[in-house]
């Protein structure tokens, strides 16, 4: 281990890292909101009574769950613009790939959560005169979301990690900036170590939160 | 209206097949090493000795909470400089994904071992087995059976993660597709075909996993997620 660690060469480039962090957070926020929001829609559609709604969403979920995210991002960036009359930016392509992928995965979480609620809750809500929609909104979902919370924070962690894939299409995020710093200063060891540490610092609290939620849920059930 | 033309992609089908073989090679290597290493990490973490369980826990947490692409870049660009060794893209990919999946498999093993009732341990000890014997003969065989669904899910995740090796120029399926699309100026067709190939392979594996899971459910074992 003869290497002399020199993190100064990384810290000198903090504006580049900062720009990368902003890019990572922007992509993460976008994918979190769209991914989980669409996931709820997918989960509801998968629990719908009509097969006309259930089957197409099933195909969507299977397709996005069974293909790699990186392939999806590259497809949206390189292939989709050929079919469309307008350009697709790097942020849009990465956000599309990651959001749709997360929607498919979190859709299954929402479906599982909704199905885990006892049928008696439905019957009780209907007996009080609520419509199916009202029962879902007022009785089923609030209980289901509580049970799904650990799975959903896990999804958020996965989304955060997936944002690095946007560097494959040169979107400015932390890893991309790390690569830039490494190639300009010939310090890949420090640059990539710094990026890894930054991700660890960002995600560690989320991981602890997930553990805490899991424990609390295990106790209350 | 765009006119689809798959001929340039099909003309390069051999590249795609070679890429798929390389994808499976990385996946297979990482799976074998990852399971063995994962079991070792899980046993260390459950050993009850702080000197063993803390380092194992640290490795597991670090590899679970950093993005795989960052790990891959670190092993490919940084490690050769630290350790003074040559690193081929395949070695970097195999190392990264082995350790990364080991971290995830360790959690699967730990959950499986923890799910075996304490009575099984106590009974094994009562008939004179050592801790190691009880683990090997009584607890692990039961735990492994319960872990199979989680295990297969992880293997599928691993295969999807291996697409990252394309970013360090290892000729996997995605890399081959990228090559073909640049050569033929047909990105739409090539990336669509690549996505369909992944979809086909992964769907077959996950259907098989689902069938196995149902059979295990019939035989009355609960499953660990």
Assign domain A8-220 to its CATH superfamily. Answer: MetI-like (1.10.3720.10)
In the predicted structure, residue B199 carries a pLDDT above the cut 90? yes
Which chain B residues have a beta carbon less than 8 Å from that of A194?
Answer: none
Which chain B residues have a beta carbon less than 8 Å from that of A191?
Answer: 78
- The Cα angle at residue A10 between residues A6 and A12, in degrees rounded to 5: 110
Q: Is B208 on the interface with A (CB under 8 A)?
A: no
For residues B217 and B71, the model is more confident at B71
Looking at every residue in chain B, the average pLDDT score rounds to: 89
In the predicted structure, residue A1 carries a pLDDT above the cut 60? no
Q: Which of A154-158, B82-86, B161-165 is predicted with the least confidence, judged by mean pLDDT?
A: B82-86
**CA–CA distance, B72 with B68 (Å, rounded to integer):** 6
Which chain A residues have a beta carbon less than 8 Å from that of B81?
Answer: 3, 188-189
In the predicted structure, residue A115 carries a pLDDT above the cut 60? yes
In the predicted structure, residue B224 carries a pLDDT above the cut 60? no
Chain A: residues touching B (Cβ < 8 Å): 1-3, 62-63, 66-72, 74-75, 78-80, 82-83, 157, 160-165, 167-168, 175, 178-179, 182, 188-189, 191-193, 195-196, 199-200, 203-204, 207
**CA–CA distance, A176 with A198 (Å, rounded to integer):** 13
Which chain B residues have a beta carbon less than 8 Å from that of A164?
Answer: 67, 69-70
**Contact yes or no for A100/A68 (Cβ under 8 A):** no
Counting residues of chain A whose pLDDT is more than 70, the rounded percentage is 99
Domain boundaries along the sequence of chain A: 8-220
In the predicted structure, residue A183 carries a pLDDT above the cut 60? yes
- Residue A87, helix vs strand vs coil: coil
Counting residues of chain A whose pLDDT is more than 90, the rounded percentage is 73
**Contact yes or no for A53/A81 (Cβ under 8 A):** no
Q: Determine whether the interchain pair B164/A70 forms a contact, defined as Cβ–Cβ distance below 8 Å.
A: yes
Counting residues of chain B whose pLDDT is more than 70, the rounded percentage is 96
Q: Determine whether the interchain pair B187/A179 forms a contact, defined as Cβ–Cβ distance below 8 Å.
A: no
In chain B, whose CA is at the least distance from the CA of A188?
B78
- Residue A204, helix vs strand vs coil: helix
Which chain A residues have a beta carbon less than 8 Å from that of B74?
Answer: 192-193, 196
* Eight-state DSSP code of residue A168: G
What digits encode the pLDDT tens for the residues A46-75? Answer: 988 899 999 999 999 999 999 999 999 999
DSSP string for B81-128 = HHHT----HHHHHHHHHHHHHHHHHHHHHHHHHHHS-HHHHHHHHHTT
How high is the ipTM of this complex?
0.86
Q: Determine whether the interchain pair A2/B84 forms a contact, defined as Cβ–Cβ distance below 8 Å.
A: yes
- Per-residue pLDDT band at B225 (split at 50, 70, 90): very low
**Contact yes or no for A69/A97 (Cβ under 8 A):** yes
- Per-residue pLDDT band at A2 (split at 50, 70, 90): low
Assign domain B7-218 to its CATH superfamily. Answer: MetI-like (1.10.3720.10)
> What is the rounded average pLDDT of the residues B113-140?
91
Domain boundaries along the sequence of chain B: 7-218
Q: Determine whether the interchain pair B69/A164 forms a contact, defined as Cβ–Cβ distance below 8 Å.
A: yes
Tell me, rounded to whole angstroms, the distance of Cα A69 from its chain centroid: 11
Q: What's the pLDDT at B38? A: 95
- Residue A47, helix vs strand vs coil: coil
């Amino acid at each position: 281990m003869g290497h002399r660690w020199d993190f100064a060469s990384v810290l000198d480039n903090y504006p580049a890292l900062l720009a990368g962090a902003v890019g990572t957070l922007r992509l993460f926020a976008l994918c979190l909101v769209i991914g989980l929001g669409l996931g709820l829609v997918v989960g509801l559609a998968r629990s719908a009574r009509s097969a006309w709604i259930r089957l197409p969403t099933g195909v969507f979920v299977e397709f996005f769950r069974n293909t790699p995210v990186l392939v999806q991002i590259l497809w949206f960036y390189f292939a989709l613009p050929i079919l469309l009359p307008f350009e697709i930016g790097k942020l849009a392509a990465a956000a599309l790939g990651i959001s749709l992928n997360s929607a498919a995965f979190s859709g299954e979480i929402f479906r599982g959560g909704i199905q885990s609620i006892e049928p008696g809750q439905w019957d009780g809500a209907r007996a009080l005169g609520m419509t199916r929609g009202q029962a879902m909104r007022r009785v089923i979902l609030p209980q289901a979301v509580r049970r799904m919370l650990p799975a959903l924070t896990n999804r958020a962690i996965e989304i955060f990690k997936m944002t690095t894939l946007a560097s494959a299409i040169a979107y400015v995020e932390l890893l991309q900036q790390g690569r830039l710093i490494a190639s300009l200063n010939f310090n890949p060891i420090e640059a990539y170590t710094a990026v890894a540490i930054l991700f660890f610092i960002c995600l560690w609290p989320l991981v602890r939160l997930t553990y805490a939620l899991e424990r609390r849920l295990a106790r209350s059930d | 209206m765009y006119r689809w033309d798959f001929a340039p992609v099909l003309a390069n089908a051999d590249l795609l097949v070679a890429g798929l073989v390389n994808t499976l090679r990385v996946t297979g290597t990482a799976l074998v090493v990852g399971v063995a290493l994962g079991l070792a990490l899980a046993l260390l973490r459950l050993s009850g000795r702080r000197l063993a369980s803390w380092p194992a826990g640290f490795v597991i947490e670090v590899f679970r909470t950093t993005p795989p692409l960052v790990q891959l870049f670190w092993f490919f660009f940084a490690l050769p400089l630290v350790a003074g060794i040559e690193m081929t893209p395949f070695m970097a990919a195999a190392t990264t994904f082995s350790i990364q999946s080991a971290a995830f498999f360790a959690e699967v093993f730990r959950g499986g071992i923890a799910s075996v009732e304490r009575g099984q341990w106590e009974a094994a000890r009562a008939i004179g087995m050592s801790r190691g014997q009880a683990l090997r003969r009584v607890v692990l065989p039961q735990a492994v059976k319960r872990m199979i669904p989680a295990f297969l899910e992880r293997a599928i995740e691993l295969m999807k993660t291996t697409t990252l090796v394309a970013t360090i120029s290892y000729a996997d399926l995605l890399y081959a597709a990228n090559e073909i699309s640049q050569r033929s100026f047909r990105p739409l067709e090539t990336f669509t075909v690549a996505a369909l190939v992944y979809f086909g392979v992964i769907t077959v594996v996950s259907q098989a996993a689902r069938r196995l899971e149902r059979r295990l459910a019939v035989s009355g074992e609960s499953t660990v997620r």
